[in-house]
Amino acid sequence: MKQIELIATSAAGVEAMVKSEVTKLGFKDIHTENGKISFKGDISSIPKANIWLRCADRVLLKIGEFKALSFEELFEKTKALPWDEWISIDGKFTVLGKSVKSKLFSISDSQAIVKKAVVEKLKSKYNVEWFKETGAEYTIQVSLLNDIATLTIDTSGTALHKRGYREKNITAPIKETLAAAMIMVSYWNKNKTLLDCFCGSGTIPIEAALIGKNIAPGLNRTFASQEWSVISQDIWKQERRDALKSIDQNLNLSIYASDINPEAIEVSKENAYKAGVDDCIKFFTSDFKDVKIKDQYGVIISNPPYGERISEKKDVENLYRVLGQTLSNYSTWSKYILTSVEKFESLYGKKADKKRKFYNGNIKVDYYQYFGPKPT
């Protein structure tokens, strides 16, 4: 079967988790760079990667890569690539671009050249002079880095963090992909108790329930490449059927999610229902300092408020002090806190065992990790 090369893109700091997911899915020739994890597989890798990857932003199909120092070179080498093997006669193809440290720095010119080259290639295949572009979407990207042009087509369409379950949000939700990464680097697994005592829209507990029950995150949404005639609908159906079969239906999870705002709890419950995991999470309204979970061991993963506005700064600093005192009652639990507050450790009253840098949208955040003892 024909080999194809795919690139899973990710937010900075999440590459290791995407690499581990790609490895577990059985893909080959895996290479990791900043924000990009490339791998090889056959055509079914497109549905599989889109349906299963929890931490990646998108899955791109790599069409070619070459050195380009002039627009002529960019045009000729783009035209030589096998666009006609992928794009159908009615395909709608938009070209996006970026350029970093490259002689061809004009992004709009590079985009226009690539579009022209793809049109020329398709003209020779389909014997037409004009394309209606009314069909499936093929978003092409020309990405220039150090004079190397990488040409891809986006197979995902809507970004992968949009699983489809979070229609309603409470202030400052984190992306589903980041929540999944926070859970995957933690010591939590399906046999352990999990608590998020600042659950907001419920992203962390819902992602944990999806991981625990082995529910593929993309099972209930569609992808741009689903419309491509080159991937048979049978392949999509087979991948979805396999994903359905993999769900651990009989598993009982112990996941608690609370928030001081009753509206957040209502929204979280609705989101969990849409994700199909409402029966796996116990939601309740509470100030974090009043939450008492009796289990001897467990894992807390939370994303408390950051106090981005000056007026909130003092309140948030105080909240972190109380958080340190409250969580010291959970001495046998592991705790993971995501925040942009730089003096978090001094407010919380303890140095983290480990820190990891992530980005919550454009905000640089640290993921403070406090490890509990191994359960006996």
Q: Which helix (H) or strand (E) holds 329?
A: none
Question: Which CB, 70 or 318, lies closer to ligand SAM?
Answer: 318
- Least distance CB 282 / ligand SAM (angstroms): 15
Q: Please identify, using beta-carbon distances, which residue of 245 and 343 lies nearer to ligand SAM.
A: 343
CA-nearest of 227, 207, 226, 211 to 165 is 207
d(CA 86, CA 298): 48
Contact residues for ligand SAM (CB under 6 A)?
170, 172-174, 197-198, 200-201, 203-204, 259-261, 264, 287-288, 303-305, 319
Judged by beta carbon, residue 111 or residue 268, the one nearer ligand SAM is 268
Which tokens in the block code for residue 133?
A: 């572009």
CB 331 to ligand SAM: min, Å = 20
Least CB distance from residue 360 to ligand SAM, whole Å? 9
Closest distance to ligand SAM from the beta carbon of 269 (Å): 13
Least Å distance between CB 329 and ligand SAM? 15
Q: E strands of the chain, at which residues? A: 4-9, 28-33, 36-41, 58-67, 95-100, 139-145, 148-154, 194-196, 255-259, 281-285, 299-302, 334-339, 354-360, 363-370
The CB-of-305 to ligand SAM minimum distance in angstroms stands at: 5
Nearer to ligand SAM, 111 or 201 (CB): 201
Nearer to ligand SAM, 155 or 258 (CB): 258
Question: How far lies 19's CA from each of 26, 32, 54, in Å?
Answer: 11, 7, 11
The side-by-side arrangement of strands in the sheet containing 354-360 is: 281-285, 255-259, 194-196, 299-302, 334-339, 363-370, 354-360
Which 3 state secondary structure label does DSSP give 301? strand
Give me the least distance between CB of 157 and ligand SAM, in Å please.
23
Nearer to ligand SAM (CB atom), residue 60 or residue 182: 182
4 versus 183: smaller Cβ distance to ligand SAM: 183
Q: Which is nearer to ligand SAM, 98 or 168 (CB)?
A: 168
Residue nearest to ligand SAM (CB): 200
Burial (Cβ within 10 Å: 0-12, 13-18, ≥19) of residue 254: middle
Judge contact between 261 and 170, C-beta under 8 A.
yes
* CB-based contacts of 186, cutoff 8 Å, min separation 6: 299, 301, 334, 336, 369
DSSP state of 279: G
> Shortest distance, CB of residue 178 to ligand SAM, whole angstroms?
9
Residue 72: partners with Cβ closer than 8 Å, 6 or more residues away: none
